[in-house]
């Protein structure tokens, strides 16, 4: 019985520089998977590999479909949405234009409008900022916009790269609560990369610790949380 997202022996890098040396993962449908690990471990590269932004070798299967080697726009069409590190909003465009661009591959106007409403219920603050340039939003608001935009794709797989980056603790908590709500209500499978292990383990079912391009530890969120040694050596602090 194979999982919804199945990654086997994934290798990837930039030019000659290998970053991932054989990563394996299996995420069941509707679950949240947290990727933890120190700076430079290859977490961002792993997400880039999953969304086609770097060249890969090895296997990536989403619900049985082979994703490896396809370009990002093709993966978007297959339901992979990537919220990149540092958000990647379209700074000069308005909030609404950003959200509508998220639905670029979809045609039905009625559905898109309905989805916009749905996203405003998750992120009420976006409704207040609709006509404002994305670049003029606060860091937290931009992160919400980036996630909202990714949801406009109606993703089957949502990739989040350090959503807490640069956010105040309270905002981070709120954001993760919303990610959890989205995951529960839409049954969207999520892979989230986080430095803030505590908060990520709080919403995830399973977690993996990545170090220098290899997974050095995997388990349920509880197992990883309980592992004192992990806390010390990989996460750098008590969780």
Partner 1 sequence: MSGSTEVTSKAASAETPGRGRAPGRAATVRWRWIVAALLLAAACYAPFQLVPFHVFQLSMVLVYAVALLGLNLLVGHAGQISLGHGAFFAVGAYTAAILLQRVELPYPLTLPVAAAVAFVLGLALGLPAMRLRGLYLALVTLAIAIFLVPLLKRFEPLTGGSMGLTLAKPAPPAWTGLAEDQWLYFLALAVAVAAFLLAHSLLRSRVGRALHAIRDNEAAAEVMGVRLSFYKTLAFAWSAMFAGAAGCVYTWVIGFVSPDSFVVTLSITLLAGLVVGGLGSFSGPILGGLFVMFVPGIAQDVNDAAPGVIFGLLIIAVMYVAPTGLAGLAGRVTRSIQKILRKE
Ligand X SMILES: Nc1ncnc2c1ncn2[C@@H]1O[C@H](COP(=O)(O)OP(=O)(O)OP(=O)(O)O)[C@@H](O)[C@H]1O
Residue ranges in contact with partner 1 by CB under 8 A: 51-53, 71-73, 75-77, 80-82, 84, 88-94, 97, 100-102, 104-105, 121-125, 131-133, 135-142, 144, 149, 153, 168, 171, 174, 177-178, 181
The CB-nearest residue to ligand X is: 44
To partner 1, the closest distance from the beta carbon of 219 in angstroms equals: 29
Residues contributing to the site for ligand X (CB under 6 A): 14, 17, 19, 37, 39-45, 85
- 35 closest CA partner among 59, 72, 7: 7
The 3-class secondary structure across 35-76, one letter per residue, is: EECCCCCCHHHHHHHHCCCCCEEEEEEECCEECCCCCHHHHH
Which of Mg ion, partner 1, ligand X, none does residue 40 bind to, with CB < 5 to 8 Å depending on kind? ligand X
Which listed option, Mg ion, partner 1, ligand X, none, makes contact with residue 198 (CB within 5 to 8 Å by class)? none
Report, in Å, the least distance between residue 71 CB and partner 1: 7
- Residue 19 or residue 175: which is nearer to ligand X going by CB? 19
- The pair phi, psi for residue 131, each rounded to 5°, is -95, 0
For the CB of residue 87, give the shortest distance to Mg ion in the complex, in Å: 13
Report, in Å, the least distance between residue 46 CB and Mg ion. Answer: 9
Closest contact distance (angstroms) between CB of 19 and partner 1 is 17
- Asked if residues 60 and 51 have their Cβ atoms less than 8 Å apart, the reply is no
Please identify which residue in 20, 44, 155, 192 interacts with Mg ion, judged by CB under 5 A.
44
| Closer CB to ligand X, 48 or 129, in the complex | 48
**Cα 127 from chain centroid (whole Å):** 23
Residue numbers at the binding site for Mg ion (CB under 5 A): 44, 85
């Amino acid at each position: 019985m194979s999982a919804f997202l199945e990654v086997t022996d994934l290798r990837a890098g930039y030019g000659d520089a290998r970053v991932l040396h054989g990563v394996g993962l299996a995420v069941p449908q509707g679950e949240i998977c947290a990727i933890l690990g120190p700076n430079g471990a290859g977490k961002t590269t792993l997400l880039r590999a999953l969304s086609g932004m770097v060249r890969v070798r090895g296997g990536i299967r989403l619900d049985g479909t082979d994703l490896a080697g396809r370009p990002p726009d093709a993966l978007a069409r297959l339901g992979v949405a990537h919220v990149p590190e540092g958000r990647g909003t379209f700074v000069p465009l308005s909030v609404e234009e950003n959200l509508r661009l998220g639905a670029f591959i979809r045609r039905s106007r009625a559905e898109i409008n309905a989805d916009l409403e749905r996203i405003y219920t998750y992120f009420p603050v976006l409704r207040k900022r609709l006509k404002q340039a994305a670049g003029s939003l606060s860091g937290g608001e931009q992160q919400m916009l980036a996630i909202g935009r990714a949801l406009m794709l109606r993703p089957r797989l949502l990739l989040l790269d350090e959503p807490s980056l640069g956010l105040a603790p309270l905002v981070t908590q709120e954001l993760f609560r919303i990610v959890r709500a989205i995951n529960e209500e839409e049954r969207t499978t999520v892979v989230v990369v986080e430095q803030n292990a505590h908060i990520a383990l709080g919403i995830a079912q399973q977690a993996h610790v990545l170090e220098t391009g290899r997974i050095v530890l995997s388990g349920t969120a509880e197992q990883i949380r309980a592992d004192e040694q992990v806390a010390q050596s990989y996460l750098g602090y008590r969780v």
